[in-house]
Amino acid sequence: MITAEGITVAYGRRRVLDGVSLSLARGETVGLRGPSGAGKSTLLRVLALLHRPAAGTVSIDGTAITGTRYTVPAAVRTRIGVLFQSPRAAADPRLSLADIIAEPLRVARRSDISARVADLADTVGLTADLLSRRPHAVSDGQLQRACLARAFAHTPDYLLCDEATTMLDAATQALIATVITDYQQRHNAGVLIVTHDPALMTRWADRTLDLADLPATAR
Amino acid sequence: MAELTLRRSRMPRPAITVATAVLVSAAAAGLLAPVLWPLDQSAVDLAQTRLAPSWAHPAGTDDLGRDVAHRTVYGLRVSLLVGAVAALVATIIGGIVGGIAGTLGGPVDRILMRIVDTVAALPHLLLGIFIVAMLRPGLGAVVLSVGLTHWLSTARIVRSELLSLRTRPFIDAAISGGAGRLRVLTRHLLPHVLPKLALATTLMVPHAVWHETALSFLGLGLPPHLASLGNMINDGQGSLLTGAWWPSLMPGLVIVIVTLALATVVARWRDRLDPRVRAELQL
Amino acid sequence: MTTTVRTSSLLAISDLTVRFRLPDATVHAVTGIDVTVAPGELLAVVGESGCGKSVLAHALLGLLPANAAVTGTALLHGDGAPIDLLTADDKILARSVRGRRIGLVPQSPATALTPVRTGRRLLEETLRAHGRPRAEADTVAAGVGLTPADLDLYPHELSGGMAQRLATALALAPDPPLLLADEPTSGLDRPLVDATLDVLRQRCDNGAAVILITHDLAAAQRVADSVAVMYASRIVEHRPAAGFFAGPRHPYAHALLDALPDRAFAPIPGHPPMLTALPAGCAFAPRCPHAADDCGIQPGLHPDVACHHPIGDRP
């Protein structure tokens, strides 16, 4: 269980989140909606330990996490996978798709990197000829598949998706959702999806939260 | 059926070819001169002072009877060397300052950038003169003087590049994948910054050449007997009053042509490096 | 349009083909497009990223990079003789076509807006440049759902949705008879998507024509009169929207609609082909459940679906 309690985030004077609490259990798919600019993405980044809130704590299985980004131990960070809205922005343009997927494995000094990359690529339906290409030579949908494979690299217990299919065509969206659901069932992972598409939310999420209705413990 | 191609305004191809040819010959002349056409820097020939251009002396001789064309080749050699080394020094200083500011951010960034703004507020040449005056005149002093006054733009470029990269989602993705600070720096940040840094260095070489020329012209640069373009233009001043226009002409023309050629080639390179332009080329 | 009779056309695209020459390959970005757009029609061009739909829009505006080769015709009708958008002089396009006769709602409005002027200044300048009174700024803005107070903000003070609406207002200000909207709803949430789409619909109801380029099928279903599906640089199906959404005939279009979350939510197996290495026959055949031997020959768009075995023809 990953839990956020009393999360407050402000950019300058503008308070984006005000004491918001939310929890995500393993095995469930939670949908998060709310108007644009309401702080959905910010809340997701806080849960992913990428953004330090002004107040509030994130805990995993009851253990409060101190720090954000580099100050969180790598073993804790890699328990949470993230899939971003724009695959173009989330992929280093200089690296091939194979390198993009391999990067987290290299960081962890895994020995079986090439086999693992092939395995991950297969999971998301990327063929060998696509793996050798760089981001500019593949479509948004193919690049997002590579980003998903990268997010799976350390077999995270939780996967957070920030409008991850908004920019993709229907076929790729359905594929990404199918692959994530398969992964979730195999590894009993908790999945959070942020989306503004009501049809997608209804179809994909077990339960739906509206950011405006979330309990505000620290108000 | 009509076929059309649309062109964006870029540096025309002949200009690039000419500029490249100029640079290659300048570099070759500088490198090969000591082998093919040795020069005794301190030699003078008082019997042949201020001779107008002729077949024997294509650019004439100066007030000490030295061949202007011959010395211009050596002057170019020294100026390019000083320009390149000074640009490198400036890049190293700017890279370190910008790198620290951009990676650490926060108060460190604010303090370093305040320093950059302060130094930028002082006139370059004045600061350069001050630095030379503090040291013993010579090649090292000139290099330091140019280097210490030209690192500001590099520092700004590196810093802003790092700051904008830091917020990119692919950095977030790397952190989320378990990468540490060093890994992110070496694998994701530096490879993006280094080409821009190299470009900044190259762009700075013409500036550095001019700065060296200006210092030497003011008599604060290299020792007077040493042929540098600035020294030669400075020496030529005296001859100008006697009606001999040639001792300054050739070094002046050479510095203008070579720096223009350098700027042209660098502009072309920048076009290729600009991600927007590059994305179009690879469409 | 082949299924309804149009008495007049605003834009007639015929055999439009775009190729990009690369050092080691040729990109077949757009191939043999034949489309007619009538006044009052909203045509949605749908397809996945990289299918060529954005290149089509850029070709019509004469905004392709230097390595592009364009063939075919795209006649824009209006007062006087029609202009071929593909061969017309760039100066004429810049002076009297782009903006004036063809408006563009760009994909990323944040980068398309001049950062140092308020929305009002931008809008008033555009209105004045096209001979309309500056006082109409509020009216035009209200048409896209911006209040007079919103107009006094600078672009960086606008949210993504407001910037999109401002960009739309700027495109509408010259009252162009044809509007090209290139993914105008990407990055917007559903209420803003719907609001933007309704503005486009209203344009058509008032007699203008709109080409909406989008990957969002739900958006197309909401407002389009007709839908053209692009796959691997070609239009594979082009039909009136109602009939298309009720019963797509091309297997790709069928599979694409089936992937929607409120339908089967089923992915299409395989990958689209590279535009540098298209197969000789139907480009969808390798992924198609109905593929047969004759699919090795490129099917034409007859009459409104480019397939040898369209759905509905089989027993």
> If you write DSSP's letter for every residue of B179-224 in order, what string do you get?
--HHHIIIIIIHHHHHHHHHHHHHHHHHHHHHHHHHHHHTT-SS-T
CB contact under 8 A, C68 and B6: yes
> What distance in Å separates the CA atoms of residue C225 and residue B218, rounded to the nearest whole number?
76
The two three-digit tokens of residue C114, written as one number:
């001049």
> What distance in Å separates the CA atoms of residue B228 and residue B137, rounded to the nearest whole number?
14
In the sheet that holds A2-11, the strands lie side by side as A14-24, A2-11, A55-60, A63-64
Is pLDDT above 80 for A75?
A: yes
H/E segment holding residue B99 = helix B68-104
Q: Does A138 touch chain B (CB under 8 A)?
A: no
Q: Where are the domains of chain C?
A: 8-101+178-191+208-315, 111-175
Which residue from A minimizes the CA distance to B279?
A: A136
Using CB atoms, pick whichever of A130, A141, A203 lies closest to residue C48: A141
Q: How far from chain centre, in Å, is Cα A36?
A: 18
In the sheet that holds A80-83, the strands lie side by side as A80-83, A158-162, A190-194, A29-33, A207-210
CB contact under 8 A, A203 and C215: no
- Residue C75 DSSP one-character state: E
Return the pLDDT at B243. 76
Give C64 to chain B, closest Cα distance, Å.
7
Answer for the pair A180, A190: CB distance below 8 angstroms, yes or no: no
- Count Cβ–Cβ pairs < 8 Å, chain A vs chain B: 71
Answer for the pair B33, B73: CB distance below 8 angstroms, yes or no: yes
Using CB atoms, pick whichever of A45, A108, A147 lies closest to residue B178: A108
Query: Chain B interface, mutation test: which of A41, A49, A50, A148, most B Cβ atoms within 10 Å?
Result: A50
| pLDDT tens readout for residues A107-146 | 998 889 999 999 999 999 998 888 998 888 888 899 999 9
CB contact under 8 A, A108 and B188: no
Q: What is the dihedral of CA B213, B215, B220, B226, to 10 degrees?
A: -10
Which residue from A minimizes the CA distance to B192?
A: A94
CB contacts, 8 Å: B8 with chain C: 65-66
Return the pLDDT at C74. 94
Q: Does A167 touch chain B (CB under 8 A)?
A: no
Which residue from B minimizes the CA distance to A69?
A: B175
Return the pLDDT at C110. 67
Return the pLDDT at B4. 28
Q: Does A109 touch chain B (CB under 8 A)?
A: no
Q: How far from chain centre, in Å, is Cα C72?
A: 18
Task: Please name which of C66, C59, C58, C163 lies closest in space to residue C108, comparing C-alpha atoms.
Answer: C163
Using CB atoms, pick whichever of A75, A82, A94 lies closest to residue B176: A82
H/E segment holding residue A119 = helix A113-123
Give C17 to chain A, closest Cα distance, Å.
21
List chains adjacent to chain A, taking adjacency as at least 3 C-beta pairs closer than 8 Å. Answer: B, C
| pLDDT tens readout for residues C263-304 | 999 999 988 888 888 998 999 999 999 999 999 999 988 789
CB contact under 8 A, C68 and B3: no
Per-residue pLDDT of chain B (283 residues), as tens digits, is 222 233 343 556 788 888 889 888 888 888 888 877 777 776 777 777 777 788 777 777 887 778 888 888 888 888 888 888 999 999 999 999 999 999 888 899 999 999 999 988 888 888 888 888 888 777 888 888 888 888 998 999 999 989 888 888 999 999 999 999 899 988 999 888 888 888 888 878 878 888 888 888 887 877 777 888 888 887 877 777 787 788 888 888 888 898 888 888 877 776 666 544 444 333 3
In a domain, A187, yes or no: yes
CB contact under 8 A, B191 and A70: no
> What distance in Å separates the CA atoms of residue A34 and residue C190, rounded to the nearest whole number?
10
Q: By three-state DSSP, how is residue B10 classified?
A: coil
CB contacts, 8 Å: B4 with chain C: 69-70, 86-87
CB contacts, 8 Å: C268 with chain A: 171, 174-175
CB contacts, 8 Å: C66 with chain B: 5-8
Contacts of B22 (CB under 8 A, 6+ apart): B257, B258, B261
Segment B244-252 long-range contacts (CB within 8 Å, at least 24 positions apart):
B244/B50, B244/B52, B244/B60, B244/B63, B246/B52, B246/B53, B246/B59, B246/B60, B246/B68, B247/B50, B247/B60, B247/B61, B247/B62, B247/B63, B247/B68, B249/B59, B250/B59, B250/B68, B250/B69, B250/B72, B251/B68, B251/B71, B251/B72, B251/B75
Tell me the residue range of the domain where A28 lies: 2-213
> What distance in Å separates the CA atoms of residue B23 and residue A195, rounded to the nearest whole number?
56
Using CB atoms, pick whichever of A178, A200, A204 lies closest to residue C267: A178
Using CB atoms, pick whichever of C186, C192, C261 lies closest to residue A204: C261
Instruction: Report chain C's mean pLDDT, rounded to a whole number.
Output: 88
> What distance in Å separates the CA atoms of residue B101 and residue B158, rounded to the nearest whole number?
9
Q: Does A141 touch chain C (CB under 8 A)?
A: yes
Is pLDDT above 80 for C84?
A: yes
**Confidence category of residue A209, pLDDT binned at 50, 70, 90:** very high
> What distance in Å separates the CA atoms of residue A36 and residue C187, rounded to the nearest whole number?
9
The DSSP code sequence of C235-277 is EEEEEEHHHHHH---SHHHHHHHHTSTTTT--PPSS-PPPTTS
Q: How many CB atoms lie within 10 A of CB B122?
A: 12
Q: Does A75 touch chain B (CB under 8 A)?
A: yes
Which residue from A minimizes the CA distance to B191?
A: A94
Q: Does B176 touch chain A (CB under 8 A)?
A: yes
Answer for the pair B104, A70: CB distance below 8 angstroms, yes or no: no
Q: Is the peptide bond before A87 cis (omega within 30 degrees of 0)?
A: no
**Confidence category of residue C310, pLDDT binned at 50, 70, 90:** very high
Is pLDDT above 70 for A217?
A: no
CA angle A77, A80, A86 (to 5 degrees): 105
Which residue from C minimizes the CA distance to A204?
A: C261
Architecture of the domain defined by B61-276: Orthogonal Bundle (1.10)
> What distance in Å separates the CA atoms of residue C231 and residue C250, rounded to the nearest whole number?
11
CB contacts, 8 Å: C65 with chain B: 6, 8, 280-281, 283
The two three-digit tokens of residue B219, written as one number:
């008599």
| pLDDT tens readout for residues C1-30 | 444 444 578 999 999 999 988 777 888 999
Which residue from A minimizes the CA distance to C272?
A: A139
Give C23 to chain B, closest Cα distance, Å.
9
Q: Where are the domains of chain B?
A: 61-276
Q: By three-state DSSP, how is residue A166 classified?
A: coil
Q: Residue type for B79, please?
A: S
Using CB atoms, pick whichever of C186, C192, C267 lies closest to residue A171: C267
Answer for the pair C16, C32: CB distance below 8 angstroms, yes or no: yes
- Residue C95 DSSP one-character state: I
Q: Percent of chain C, pLDDT > 90?
A: 47
- Chain C residues in contact with chain A using a Cβ-Cβ cutoff of 8 Å: 47-50, 159-161, 186-192, 215, 217-218, 255-257, 259-262, 265-269, 271-272
> What distance in Å separates the CA atoms of residue B179 and residue B186, rounded to the nearest whole number?
11
The DSSP code sequence of C101-114 is TEEEE-S-HHHHS-
Give C29 to chain B, closest Cα distance, Å.
10
Contacts of B2 (CB under 8 A, 6+ apart): C70, C71, C73, C84, C86, C87
Q: What is the dihedral of CA B129, B130, B133, B136, to 10 degrees?
A: -90
Give A86 to chain B, closest Cα distance, Å.
8
CB contacts, 8 Å: C72 with chain B: 1
| pLDDT tens readout for residues C57-71 | 889 988 888 888 999
Q: Give the start-end residues of each E strand in chain C.
A: 11-21, 26-37, 42-46, 68-76, 83-84, 102-105, 178-182, 209-214, 226-231, 234-240
End-to-end CA distance of chain C: 27
CB contact under 8 A, A199 and C259: no
Return the pLDDT at B271. 66
Give A12 to chain C, closest Cα distance, Å.
14
Return the pLDDT at B276. 45
Question: Average pLDDT of A24-30?
Answer: 96
The two three-digit tokens of residue B181, written as one number:
């600070």
Contacts of C159 (CB under 8 A, 6+ apart): A36, A37
Which residue from A minimizes the CA distance to C107?
A: A167
CATH topology of domain C8-101+178-191+208-315: Rossmann fold (3.40.50)
Which residue from A minimizes the CA distance to B188?
A: A92
Return the pLDDT at B12. 67
- Count Cβ–Cβ pairs < 8 Å, chain A vs chain C: 87
CATH number at residue A125: 3.40.50.300
CA angle A65, A45, A77 (to 5 degrees): 45
Beta-strand relationship, C26-37 and C178-182: unpaired
Give C223 to chain A, closest Cα distance, Å.
17
CB contact under 8 A, B3 and C71: yes
In a domain, A218, yes or no: no
CB contacts, 8 Å: A81 with chain B: 176
In the sheet that holds C83-84, the strands lie side by side as C26-37, C11-21, C68-76, C83-84
Answer for the pair A85, A167: CB distance below 8 angstroms, yes or no: yes
Give C160 to chain B, closest Cα distance, Å.
18
CB contact under 8 A, B180 and A84: no
* Domain count for chain A: 1
Query: Where would I find the H helices in B105-151?
Result: 106-121, 124-134, 139-149
| pLDDT tens readout for residues C129-186 | 888 888 888 888 888 888 888 888 888 888 777 888 888 889 988 889 999 998 888 7
The DSSP code sequence of B18-65 is HHHHHHHHHHHHHHHHHHHS---TT---GGGTTPPS-SSSTT-B-TTS
Give C56 to chain B, closest Cα distance, Å.
14
Answer for the pair C233, C275: CB distance below 8 angstroms, yes or no: yes
